[in-house]
Structure formats: structure tokens, C-alpha cells
Amino acid sequence: MIKVALIEDNTTIRDGLAALINGTTGYSCVGAFSDCESFLSKLETLSVDVVLMDIGLPGMSGIDGIVRAKKIKPELNILMLTVYEDSQTVFKALCAGACGYLVKKTPPSRLLEAIKDAFEGGAPMSSLIARQVITVFQQTQGAATLTPDHELSAREKEVMTSLAEGNNYQEIADRLFISVDTVRHHIRNIYRKLHVHSQSEAVAKAIRKGII
């Protein structure tokens, strides 16, 4: 039995969804709320597997609702409900912790399928949204493998990592068993390769490019 909670301000849609879920074997609607606040106040004591949350809600937005709900129960499977497939919004929802989304005009059979999918560890979403996610993903995670241009040597990476950990030149030198001047030398080369002129800029670039 998959326990579903609904947060949707439109009474007609909410009742319709609740009826659909309760009317299907294997599904049960354990809560239907018109706003995030009332949902969140009950969440602690609510046994629920999958949450369907409207994105455009009065009061707290669905995005904020996701963040708060995830803080209370990080293992929650939250699916966003949207009217249009607005990339930006859906994208933000995924960042906030949603595991997928549904457009409201989705036919009942596919809706139930998506709930089951989310329950079983999937992430129901259109391939267009998926592409957006992996694009951003690749830019951060996999960027290193794709752009080995301004590649730092192993030693330089060690220096960068140590720098990002908050060590100063003397501490880096001690850790790597080299002199402070050698650290400076490496830093110099790193700056040249990354086209930067300060620690902060170097660290920012190195992390964003996935070098460290």
C-alpha cells in the first residue's frame, strides 16, 4: 500500500486526486491539504510515502514547502504538480529536493504510475527536464573529464585542495613536505593555468570546473 499525501489549493483537483488514489488498489490517500503550513504541522506524525505538492500555492510556495518537508523527513518522495512544464520552476523544485514532477493534465493511469515509480526509487520526469539536469550535472561533476585543457598537475591539485581547506602557504608547505617558496611557485603556475590572480578566484574556478 503506497501512502500518498496531497497539497493542492484547488478543492476540485484535490478531491479528484484523493478519490482517484483512494479508489485504486494499492494506493491510499493519507492526507489532503490546501497549503504547506498545515501539511508541515502534521508531517511529523503522518505516515506517508509519496507527497504530491502543487507548486503554486497560497502562502508558502511549494518550493519552500519541499525544503521544509525534507528537513523533517529527508526520505520523503516528493513529486511536484505543475500546470505547465515550466523548466525553470521544475528545475528549482528538483534542486530543492523533489524527485520528479507531474503536469496536472497527466491522465490518471500515468499519474498512478508516476507515484509508484517515485515510491520505488525512480524519478518520473520528462526527458527534456532530465536533459537539463544532467547538463548542469555534467558541468559540475563531470566537467573535469571533458575539459582537460587548463589541467593542473597532481601536485598543483594537492596545493589547491589544501588551499580550499583553509590552509595558508606555511601550512600547505608543512603538509606536503616542501618549502613555502615552492608552494608559492605552484600557486603561481595554478594562477597562470586558470587565468586568475587570487586564491578566492582560483578556488572558485577549481571547484566549479570539478578540478578539486
Partner DNA sequence: TTGTAAACCGCACAAATGTGTTGTTTTATT
Partner DNA sequence: AATAAAACAACACATTTGTGCGGTTTACAA
Indicate the residue among 84 and 137 with the shorter CB distance to a second copy.
137
Indicate the residue among 43 and 202 with the shorter CB distance to a second copy.
202
Nearest C-alpha neighbor of 80 from the set 59, 67, 71: 67
Determine, following the binding rule CB under 7 A, whether residue 205 of this chain makes contact with DNA. Answer: no
Q: Please state, as a whole number, how many other Cβ atoms lie within 10 Å of the Cβ of residue 170.
A: 11
Instruction: Tell me which of DNA, a second copy, none is bound by residue 153, counting a contact when its beta carbon lies within the kind-specific cut-off of 5 to 8 angstroms.
Output: DNA
Pick out residues in 155-174 that bind DNA (CB under 7 A): 155-156, 168-170
Figure out which of the listed residues 113, 178, 204, 210 binds DNA, where binding follows CB under 7 A. 178
DSSP string, 89-140: HHHHHHHHT--EEEETT--HHHHHHHHHHHHTT-----HHHHHHHHHHHHHH
Enclosing H/E stretch for 30: strand 27-33
The C-alpha cell 509519496 sits at: 50
- Window contacting a second copy (CB under 8 A); options: 10-18, 26-34, 35-43, 134-142: 134-142
Cα(52)–Cα(17) distance, rounded to whole angstroms? Answer: 10
Q: Name the site residues for a second copy (rule: CB under 8 A).
A: 63, 67, 70-71, 74, 94-97, 99-100, 117, 121-128, 130-131, 133-134, 136-138, 140-142, 145-146, 148, 163-166, 168, 196-204, 207-208
